[in-house]
Structure 1
Amino acid sequence: MYDVIIIGGGPAGASAAVYTARGRLSTLVLDKAPGTGALALTHKIANYPGISEELSGKELLDRIRSQAASFGAEFKQTSITAVDLEGDTKYVFTADGMFEAKAVIIATGSKGRNRMLQGEEELLGRGVSTCATCDGAFYQGKEIAVIGDSEEALDEVLALNKIAAKIHFIVPRAELQGVSELPQMGNTDVYFRSRPLEIVGEQHVEGVRVKQASGEEQLLNVNGVFVFLSGSKPGTDFLQDQVPLDENGFMVLDEYMQSPVPGVFGAGEVRKSPVKQAVVAAADGAIAAMAVDKFIHRREQLIPQYK
């Protein structure tokens, strides 16, 4: 039993871990793909307070994570398969087993895009999905497509690889962000430099139209399409109605980053904010962490960490 589990290890989650661990709360950070968040993929940081030297986003994140680890926070790379957040004890189910905590901070950042593919919105939930762990089981023995450009997309392919009969992995870029080498995937065809044009279907997905690197267009006949492209839609699908979300999928949070569900907090890009900056996400994480301390110790007020 941990005091707090933080789901997501970006600037919000890692900063929260600094504060919870330093506040002597046993802390576990779960992150599916530490190298593919928006900050981790930033080539150079120039506007983070206190950082004047040339530094990549990954280097900055590594510093924050190391700082949290020095205070006792544990970091584990794994995929979340389900959560149970409604009781006093919070359960987080992963590919590596179940973890329990008194409180949870959701800091999963953003995963979707403002601009969808043609046909994507119309067929969402009818063959189009952004959550392999939620919907993968519906495609047992079927042919599917995965559209993605990062390590996260590869992780989803590997999960679906055990379920689907055939996977068409469509990668718009020349390589996957955060991936140096592809593993062996027997039932998966990978299409680099291929641009998805349209998801085809009337009542359900019937195929996806792709423009190959050669310029040739091809229609792939598939039963489902899983989309994991970088963007700005909050990564809250896995919560599955256990925590209130607004119409755009953002968590409903108060000024202390607490949701209406006791013991469940949010930070970073899962919160609707006028700006998306690493320093804002880090500040959210700090507030959420001190609110967790208040919640667990049943304090009347937040106790800031001055020293």
Structure 2
Amino acid sequence: MYDVIVIGGGPAGATAAIYTARGNLKTLVIDKAPGTGALALTHKIANYPGVEGEWSGKELLDKMRNQAKSFGAEFIQTTITAVDVEDEVKSIYTADGTFEAKTVIVATGSKGRNRMLPGEERLLGRGISTCATCDGAFYQDKVVAVIGESEEALEEAAALTKFAREIFFIVPRAELQGVESAPELPNTHFYYRTRPVEIVGEKGVEGVKIRKASGEEELLPVDGVFIFLSGSKPGTSFLEDQVPLDEEGYMVLDEFMQSAVPGVFGAGEVRRSPVKQAVVAAADGAIAAMAVDKYINKRSKIVPQYK
């Protein structure tokens, strides 16, 4: 019997485990694929507080996980087949057996699109990014492409204008969705009714091949590609019919990351967050962990960890 089972070992889950284990709560982290999360696949990170220099996402995650382990958290890699979290004792069924806990923190992040572009999987984190706020500074005075058709894609392109010398904005539809009129962005070329065909490069991005409405194909030489196509969904399908989810599958949580089901919490990209950043996910994990401590110890309020 664990005090808490954390499902997911990314920045939200690993941080939650640091706090729960350090708070003397028996903690188990279940992570299906530790090397395939969004942060783990990020090639360079230079803006995580307190971590100077450039680190790979995997290096940063390893530091988080090792810190959690140093406080006594256990980590296992296995696949969850089912859960039963409505009762007082939460049961997590996996390929390696059943684990039980008083509480559960869901930190499974979001799933990528079902269909990736040719070259995307190979170059993800090596010139392909899904966060201009995170990685834009790495493209100072370089040429980049933005692929998307949403307001989010437009906002990310606007953020990139602070850094990139030139931007190719590839929009598969005739217009941007949810945007009344696209503003003029400096050094940005819009390609409407244009589909990305392939991202070209071996060790890094060298270009993106596009197909225009006329059928003509063209190779745009770029140093980086930022992809904001629809399809990314929170990894919460295993909670259906047990924990309240909104219409897009995000967990419905209060300010303390607690769901309507007693003892079930969420953190990171399983909730609707204004921005997707490792530091935001980590903060969610810390809040969820301290809320778990309050729940298990029947405290009247959250007790922060100062020491």
TM (norm. structure 1) is: 0.64
Gaps of 5+ in 1: 117-146, 150-170, 179-210, 213-228
Q: CA deviation at 1:172?
A: 5.9
**Letter of the structure 2 residue corresponding to residue 301 of structure 1:** K
Q: Aligned-pair distance for 1:51? A: 1.2
Counterpart residue number, 1:276: 276
Amino acid across the alignment from 2:14? A
Letter in 2 for 1:21: A
Q: Report how far residue 112 of structure 1 moved.
A: 3.8
**Counterparts in 2 of 1:29 and 1:230: CA distance versus 1, 3 Å:** farther
Aligned equivalents of 1:172, 1:51: Cα separation in 2: 31
CA separation in 1, counterparts of 2:33 and 2:231?
A: 15
Distance 1:241 1:70, change over 3 A: same
Residues 134-149 of structure 1 correspond to what in structure 2 (within 5 A)? Answer: none
Alpha-carbon displacement from aligned partner over 1:38-70 (angstroms, at most 9, x marks no partner): 000000111110111221010000000000000
Q: Distance in 2 between matches of 1:61 and 1:36?
A: 11
Partner of residue 29, structure 1: 29
Distance 1:54 1:234, change over 3 A: same
Q: Check conservation: 1:112, 1:230, Cα contact below 8 A.
A: no
CA contact (8 A) 2:107 2:270 kept: yes
Q: What are the Cα deviations for residues 17-41 of structure 1, in whole angstroms up to 9, with x where unaligned? A: 0000000000000000000100000
Which residue is 1:47 aligned to? 47
* 1:232 Cα deviation after fit: 2.9
Task: Describe the SS at the equivalent of 2:101.
Answer: strand
Q: Deviations over 1:140-176 (max 9, x none)?
A: xxxxxxx679xxxxxxxxxxxxxxxxxxxxx765759
CA contact 2:42–2:124 (8 Å) conserved in 1: no
Q: Which AA in structure 2 matches 1:91?
A: S
C-alpha separation in 2, matches of 1:61 and 1:305: 21
Report the alpha carbon displacement of residue 279 of structure 1 after superposing the two structures with TM.
0.1
Question: Which whole-Å CA distance do the structure 2 matches of 1:17 and 1:261 have between them?
Answer: 20
Unaligned runs of 5+ in 2: 126-196, 199-228
Write the letter of the residue equivalent to 1:254: D
**Partner residue of 2:290?**
290
Once residues 19 and 38 of structure 1 are traced to their aligned partners in structure 2, the CA distance between those partners, rounded to angstroms, is 22
Q: Residue 226 of structure 1 corresponds to which residue in structure 2?
A: none
Q: Which of 1 and 2 has greater Rg?
A: 2
Give the secondary-structure state (helix, strand or coil) at the position aligned to 1:18: helix
> How many Å apart are 1:230 and its aligned residue?
10
Distance 1:22 1:246, change over 3 A: same
CA distance in 1, matches of 2:87, 2:285: 23
Counterpart code for 2:246: D
* Corresponding residue number in structure 2 for 1:134: none
**Deviation string, structure 1 residues 197-225 (Cα, Å, up to 9, x no partner):** xxxxxxxxxxxxxx99xxxxxxxxxxxxx
Are 1:86 and 2:86 matched, yes or no? yes
* Residue matched to 1:95: 95
Letter of the structure 2 residue corresponding to residue 26 of structure 1? K
Report what 1:125 is aligned to: none
Describe the SS at the equivalent of 2:233. coil
Distance 1:230 1:258 in 2: 27
- Conserved? CA contact 2:108–2:234, under 8 Å: yes
Match of 1:136 in 2: none
**1:106–1:266 contact (8 Å) kept in structure 2:** yes
- What corresponds to 1:56 in structure 2? 56
Whole-Å separation in 1 of the counterparts to 2:246 and 2:8? 20
Amino acid corresponding to residue 258 of structure 2 in structure 1: Q
